[in-house]
């Protein structure tokens, strides 16, 4: 690992200034993706800006029909928070299934969705729960935020402050996980609202996406029977050392039925 400057700002303004101070900079939250990338020289920042000391970036609040979770809130905190488990228990269970206890104790909501790994869990919740991503520069709707593999609507130096999840009538997340990393080989998040149903799939393709056919069928009838025989097109899915595209298409249908049953 080569030398770099380390900044631990006490405000968003100081963090933005440190990031813009010259050369290549990177924000660090939990560090589970960034630090291995630096060690392997896939990332070589001149400045590392640690967001851990900035007040107001962690915590949970329910405001009307929106559950707000700070960007620096850890997975462990989300999984056990009483407000989360009461308002959106599916979100708490999702957080409890991320990695292992060490990962959950350090990893953060903001870090995951800023990185946007195509096999991460949280992006499916952000998309299915029609969330709003609030930053130091404005807001992004869930449908506009995710823009493909490791790509988001965030501009260079933009910092996530918190995420607002719309509280559903019912929701569930079902994941077929990799046995070692616990990343989603396929994960399906289903959320039911008075206006209709939203279904998001992670792990199967190059990025999280909504399953429009499942949404239409479940909006008409929120039952497993309504989506029986429904399948994703393997041509749009990933094939890698963990699973082929056709297998992922099959597993997505299985996870969809499981999520509906749990919801």
CATH of the domain at 252: 3.30.390.50
For residue 197, the cross-strand partners are 192
Q: Is residue 139 part of a domain?
A: yes
- H or E segment at 254? helix 245-262
- Residue 24 domain boundaries: 5-50
In CATH, what number is assigned to the domain containing residue 39?
Answer: 3.30.43.10
What pLDDT does residue 1 have?
60
What's the whole-model pTM score? Answer: 0.94
The two structure tokens encoding residue 18: 């440190």
Are residues 215 and 242 both part of a single domain?
Answer: yes
Boundary (domain end) residue, out of 166, 200, 227: 166
Predicted confidence at residue 185, as pLDDT, reads 96
Residues 77, 134, single domain; the answer is yes
Do the domain assignments include residue 162? yes
How many domains does one find in the chain?
Answer: 3
Question: Is residue 229 domain-shared with residue 197, that is, in the same domain?
Answer: yes
Burial-class residue 225 by CB neighbours within 10 Å (0-12, 13-18, 19+).
Answer: exposed
- What span, in angstroms and rounded, lies between the C-alpha atoms of 1 and 115? 21
Confirm whether 228 is domain-assigned: yes
Predicted local confidence at residue 199, as pLDDT: 98
Same domain, residue pair 244 and 190: yes
Contacts of 190 (CB under 8 A, 6+ apart): 128, 171, 172, 173, 197, 198, 199, 214, 218, 256, 259, 260, 263
Query: Across the 263 residues of the chain, what is the mean pLDDT of every consecutive 10-residue run?
Result: 87 94 89 85 90 96 98 98 98 96 94 95 98 97 95 96 98 95 94 98 96 98 95 95 96 97 94
Q: What is the pLDDT of residues 196-217, one digit of tens each?
A: 999 999 999 999 999 999 999 9
């Amino acid at each position: 690992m080569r030398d770099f400057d380390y900044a631990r700002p006490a405000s968003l303004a100081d963090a933005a200034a440190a990031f813009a101070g010259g050369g290549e900079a990177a924000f660090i939250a939990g560090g589970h993706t960034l630090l291995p990338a630096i060690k392997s020289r896939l990332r070589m920042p001149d400045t590392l800006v640690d967001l851990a000391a900035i007040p107001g970036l962690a915590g949970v609040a329910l405001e009307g029909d929106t559950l707000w979770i700070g960007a620096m809130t850890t997975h462990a905190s989300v999984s056990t928070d009483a407000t989360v488990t009461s308002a959106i228990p599916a979100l708490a269970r999702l957080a409890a299934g991320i990695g292992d206890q060490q990962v959950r104790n350090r990893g953060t909501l903001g870090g995951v969705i800023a990185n946007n790994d195509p096999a991460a869990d949280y992006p499916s919740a952000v998309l299915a729960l029609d969330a709003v991503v609030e930053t130091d520069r404005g807001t992004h709707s869930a449908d506009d935020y995710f823009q493909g593999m490791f790509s988001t609507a965030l501009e260079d130096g933009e910092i996530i402050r918190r995420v607002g999840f719309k509280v559903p009538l019912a929701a569930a997340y079902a994941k077929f996980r990799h046995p070692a990393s616990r990343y989603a080989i396929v994960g399906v998040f289903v959320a039911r609202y008075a206006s209709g149903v939203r279904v998001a799939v992670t792990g199967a393709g190059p990025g999280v996406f909504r399953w429009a056919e499942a949404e239409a069928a479940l909006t008409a009838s929120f039952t497993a029977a309504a989506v029986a025989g429904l399948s994703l097109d393997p041509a749009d899915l990933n094939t890698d050392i963990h699973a082929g595209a056709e297998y992922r298409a099959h597993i997505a249908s299985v996870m969809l039925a499981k999520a509906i049953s749990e919801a």
